[in-house]
Structure 1
Amino acid sequence: MKKINFTIVIFLVYFFTLNIQGFAQDNTSKINEYMQVEINRFHFRGTILISQGDKVSFSKGYGMANEETGTPNDLHTKFRIGSITKQFTAMAIVMLQEKGKLNFQAPISTYLDEYPIAWQDITIHHLLTHTSGIADFTRDPDYKTAMRSTFTVNDLIARFKDKPLTFKPGYTFDYSNSNYILLGHIIEKVSGMPYEQYLQKYIFSPLKMENTGYDHNEKILLHRASGYTLKKDIVINAPFVDMSIPFSTGGLYSTVEDLLVWDKALYTDRLVSKKGLEAMFTPVKMDYGYGWTIDSLNHHKCIRHGGWMIGFNNSIMRFPDEKMTIIVLSNIDSISANTIARDLAAILFGEKYVDEKIAEGFKLNTHTQQTYIGQYEVFPDLIVTICKEDNKLIGKITGYPEIELKPLSEEEFYAKEVDARIFFIKDGEHKVIQMNIQIDDWKKEAKKIK
């Protein structure tokens, strides 16, 4: 009897091992097929790493880190990670809170030498969660010119400190890079250390993230990727940006392997307590916590953030219940790393990704389609008109090309031209009251006004 049981156990282990290997090989094949489409259609170049449990299940470099030298992207390539920087800034703030150096709920005026009266009710919590109402300096009309110049932190703050708030602090969510510039300044004031030195001493060095740091234009950095963009479907060098500009909102570089080290540390108390991590990963408004978006992807809890930077587009997407992480770092800014990460997750979960859903052609009934027609206010000076043409929903904004909204379900739509997800929201009486727009980590509620 014991011999029979042992034989059965051996058989079952062998059977499931074969199935797991087959599953992994099948996913690898699907991922390679998907990525080839991204390369052919959007000129993707970069590095991808997928971790499941304690193992790396997929990692691969694509295209060139530097087109002129013919250097390929690989696991050691260093990319500017853009707004993924925000989660490190948020972690530094949480660390300082736990050291008793600051308080999330304290007014930021406590830590600033100078501040406008309009900021007197803004707290650190408001900055962390993009609920301060402070205008985003990267939306300034002259930003594309300014980004070529060198700025001190005080110079950066001066660009937005005298602008009126866009809403009362705490009222709503509006993703603003200005918030995280102020957080970096507060880190320096409270710690007495330059921002990059604080991160190096208290985050990167303890975690042995040896290939992560603050990027400086003049620094010779081994394995640094060059940034690219598209012009009429031709890959060209991305415009120059002085790296003093992004500062604590987007100034870091890293590799997929170092970001995996970071990911693993977030399951432990190596940097902050469990309570500190809970604060970071608790969504406030529009699913945003402290430097992270916390929502779900096809009913799987997802903690994620994108990182766009001129010449680069990145994403880190964590599924804590499954202990699965997808990291996409790319040195071309015209692709959507968040979309790639989301689609790869769908493949791994055995679900359909966006292009597959579109190919299926979800049929929206005429009555439902009619309820979405109207005007929606994104900003007071930006109105989106939804209309029906040739039995399709079309989005129109004065001065911009028309965009088709392709239905993924009755309430969810996809606008491929701008890589946006559109959700129509109804009240208790099934009347459409607003349209929620999501482009990477930027989310906006647009109320129906007509």
Structure 2
Amino acid sequence: MKRYLITLSILLFTFSVAFSQSKPEKIDDLLNRYHDARQFMGTALVAENGNIIYKKGFGFANIEHEIKNEPDIKFRLGSITKQFTSMLIMQLVQQNKVPLDGKLSEYLPYYRKDVGDKVTIHHLLTHTSGIPSYTNKPNFFAKESKLYLSTKELITKLCSDDLEFEPGEKYQYNNSGYVILGGIIEEVTGMTYEKALRKFILDPLQMNDTGYDYSEQIIKKRAAGYEKIVNGYKNADYLDMALPHAAGSMYSTVLDLYKWDRALRTGKLLSVENSTKMYTPFLNGYAYGWAVQKVSFNDNQNLTVYQHGGGINGFNTLIYRVIEEDKLIILLNNTGGAPLNDIKTGIMNILYDKDYELPKNSIADYIYTIIEDNGINEAIETYNRLKNNEKESFNFRENELNNLGYFLLNQNRTDEAIEIFKLNIEAYPKSANTYDSMGEAYMKKGDNVSAIRFYKTSLELNPGNSNAVLKLKEMGVEYNTEEIVFNAEILEKYIGVYKLAPEFLLTISREGDKLFAQATGQAKLEIFPKTETEFYLKDINAQIKFIRNEDGMTDKLILTQNGREMPADKIEK
């Protein structure tokens, strides 16, 4: 108890004196705190006006052998790969080998013609093709992700389903589209995607520490991927790297990605005309391999940002480029699921001399040590005491106790898991997910009566909880949710753009009698009515409540996710 009271005072003191530090010192202090809180392990690079002002590694590239992360360590990039794929396509456009309005079937003769005749290169680049994303298939990660497939096999087997919507109608983030683009690159150039990447981008830019990540190859200074668990880390699940292909199979370093940023500001790879096309957003702020948005810092209004994140087993990544003021942030993490957007926001605030938030310690990590040392009852008492007295020094979000409960459940410590889930229900009584987790624990314990009760409560809070419906069915209980439909006049009141944070907007749109929500840089998702003003998302633990003013007009909403209530004012109709 005492050591955490001391930690809190240090945090507050450091924050108050941080303004006497230089920008690199503040960035270093911030990243060290994220690392100490086990929320970042990887490498970071920050540049201003084309000059690197900060580069450093944190933690281990390989935990088993205690090899430290350094700026020259190679990380899997995940979806940052897409911007390299779009560059290769735009180079083919520039060479008049591929038109942006060219049909898919013109370049992949083995692709199903009924879909290929409708989908263009432009649709594939902008995630508007309507082709389902193969990574959303129910059994992809459990089964297909570990098996090798050639490019043709990958496209014909996993990327050739029926259209989900007509091409160009809407945006839906899609890995299949970029795999297909990789296939087109191979057909047109007569090279493998890897060789085309090397010849047309990596070699000209001398990006010698970047490439296509084959698991079987010996690649010097390659980081291993891990997942954070309550008492440490575990190796990430295996993924055959032939499968992400042109959508996510590259590796690189922060130093090579800095070279990439500098090259993109010149005409070395692409003409100004074609670069402009590449960065022009189509739907939902997505251009060709880049998310494009406008941000404001201090008196600097409407700055243009080109950015993209990536996530792949054991890794998550981010490249963030402020164009007019030539700022660059690159974050590569090898523990999966790090809060890179929070870190980026902190660094941006430092660059613009604004206040920034420090990371909080994981309450789950600390409570687990109490369970191990003194038992579950002492742990519960400690949790309640810390929540009352040290709320600012720990992360008390819903997912903290939920993760701890599942960690215990997976160790067959079911009774302890139930006590943790009870604690989470007390803290977040309006969250459907807390009751769903408790239902699973009682189901594992063999107490189906209690399991059914908690699953039904979860469905009352979130009728879209398909997992609860399936679990109830396994226990012989049929549960049918009644679909509620409102007319267009009611839904029209909710349409608009809501500001959750300076750089984070939530856009509500309508298509017929359906309402959709889309957060900045994310896919558009349908939201379903629970009442006239309360909506929920299926398969995601999130709810939206619209707030009306005295005139009956909707002027704000509250997004509830992971136990957090996030109010947002409407800024555009």
Query: TM-score band, normalised by the shorter chain?
Result: 0.7 to 0.9
Q: Name the counterpart of 2:324.
A: 321
Equivalents in 2 of 1:282, 1:165: separation in Å? Answer: 25
Given that 1:412 and 1:422 are in contact with CA atoms closer than 8 Å, whether structure 2 keeps it comes out as yes
Query: In 2 relative to 1, CA 355–70 (structure 1 residues): closer, same or farther, beyond 3 Å?
Result: closer
For residues 169-188 of structure 1, the C-alpha deviation after alignment (integer angstroms, 9 at most, x for no partner) is 00000001000000000000
Note the alpha carbon deviations across 1:199-233, whole angstroms, 9 max, x for none: 10111011111101111111111110000102335
Equivalent-residue separation in structure 2 for 1:342 and 1:280 (angstroms): 25
**SS in structure 2 of the partner of residue 316 of structure 1:** strand
Query: Which 5+ residue runs of structure 2 have no aligned equivalent?
Result: 1-17, 297-301, 360-390, 393-425, 433-461, 469-496, 533-573
Corresponding residue of 1:444? 524
2:466, 2:77 → 1: CA distance? 31
Distance in 1 between residues matched to 2:312 and 2:190, nearest whole Å: 28
1:260, distance to aligned residue in structure 2 (A): 0.4
Q: CA deviation at 1:278?
A: 0.5
% identical aligned pairs: 34
SS of match in other structure, 2:179: helix
Are 2:273 and 1:288 equivalent residues in the alignment? no
Q: CA RMSD in A?
A: 2.9
User: Is the Cα–Cα contact under 8 Å of residues 422 and 435 in structure 1 kept in the other structure?
Assistant: no
Secondary structure of the residue aligned to 1:411 is strand
| Amino acid in the other structure paired with 2:78 | G
- Please give the alpha-carbon distance, in whole angstroms, between the structure 1 residues aligned to 2:131 and 2:354: 39
Q: Does structure 2 retain, via aligned residues, the 8 Å contact 1:435–1:448? A: no
Give the corresponding residue for 1:153: 151
Q: Name which of 247, 250, 259 aligns with 1:249.
A: 247
Match of 1:51 in 2: 47
2:430 is aligned with 1:350: no
Is the Cα contact below 8 Å between 1:135 and 1:160 reproduced in 2?
A: no
SS in 2 for 1:35: helix
Partner Cα separation in structure 2 for residue 353 and residue 178 of structure 1: 38
* Distance change >3 Å, CA 32–CA 153, structure 1 → 2: same
Structure 1 residues 15-414: aligned runs within 5 Å: 25-116=21-112, 117-144=114-141, 145-232=143-230, 234-298=232-296, 299-352=302-355, 396=462, 397-398=464-465, 411-413=498-500
Partner deviation per Cα, 1:125-173 (whole Å, 9 max, x = no partner): 0000000001000111111121111111112112334422111100000
The CA deviation at 1:265 is: 0.5
Task: Note closer, same or farther for the CA distance 1:71–1:108 as it changes in structure 2 (3 Å cut).
Answer: same
1:12 maps to none
Alignment partners' CA distance in 2, 1:300 and 1:351: 16
State the partner residue of 2:558: none
Count of aligned pairs between the two proteins = 380
Distance 1:346 1:286 in 2: 25
Which consecutive unaligned segments of at least 5 residues does structure 1 have?
A: 1-21, 360-388, 402-409, 415-419
Would the alpha carbon gap of residues 324 and 339 (structure 1) be closer, same or farther in structure 2, given more than 3 Å must change? Answer: same
1:364 corresponding residue in structure 2 = none
**Per-residue CA shift, 1:360-393, capped at 9, x if unaligned?**
xxxxxxxxxxxxxxxxxxxxxxxxxxxxx99999
Q: Which has the higher contact order (CA 8 A, sep 6+)?
A: 1
Distance 2:230 2:40 in 1: 15
Matched letter for residue 506 of structure 2 = F
Match of 1:435 among 503, 517, 522: 517
Q: Distance in 1 between matches of 2:139 and 2:525?
A: 26
Over 3 Å counting, the alpha-carbon distance change for 1:243 and 1:390 in structure 2 is closer
CA distance in 1 between counterparts of 2:224 and 2:303 reads 35
Superposition deviation, residue 400 in structure 1: 7.3
TM-score normalized with structure 1 length: 0.78
**Deviation, structure 1 residue 448:** 6.1
Q: Quick check: 1:437–1:445 contact (8 Å CA) kept in 2?
A: no
SS of residue in 2 equivalent to 1:218 = coil
Q: Which amino acid aligns with 2:61?
A: A
Looking at structure 2, the residues matched to 231 and 329 of structure 1 have their Cα atoms a distance apart, in angstroms, of: 19
CA spacing shift, 1:94–1:23, aligned 2, 3 Å = farther
Contact preservation (8 Å) 1:79, 1:225: yes
Structure-2 separation of matches of 1:158 and 1:247: 14
Q: 2:225, 2:314 within 8 Å by CA — same for their partners in 1?
A: yes
- Classify 1:246/1:263 alpha carbon distance in 2 versus 1 (closer, same or farther; 3 Å): same
Q: Contact 2:126–2:171 (CA<8 Å) still a contact in 1? A: yes
Q: CA deviation at 1:353?
A: 5.2
- Please give the alpha-carbon distance, in whole angstroms, between the structure 2 residues aligned to 1:147 and 1:82: 14
Q: Once structures 1 and 2 are overlaid, which stretch shifts more, 209-218 or 161-170?
A: 161-170
Tell me, in whole angstroms, the C-alpha distance in 1 between the residues paired with 2:137 and 2:181: 20
Please state how far the C-alpha of 1:276 moved relative to its aligned partner.
Answer: 1.1
Structure of higher CA gyration radius: 2
Does the aligned pair in 1 maintain the 2:159–2:180 contact within 8 Å?
A: no
Bigger share in helix? 2
Distance 1:393 1:173 in 2: 31
Q: CA deviation at 1:437?
A: 3.0
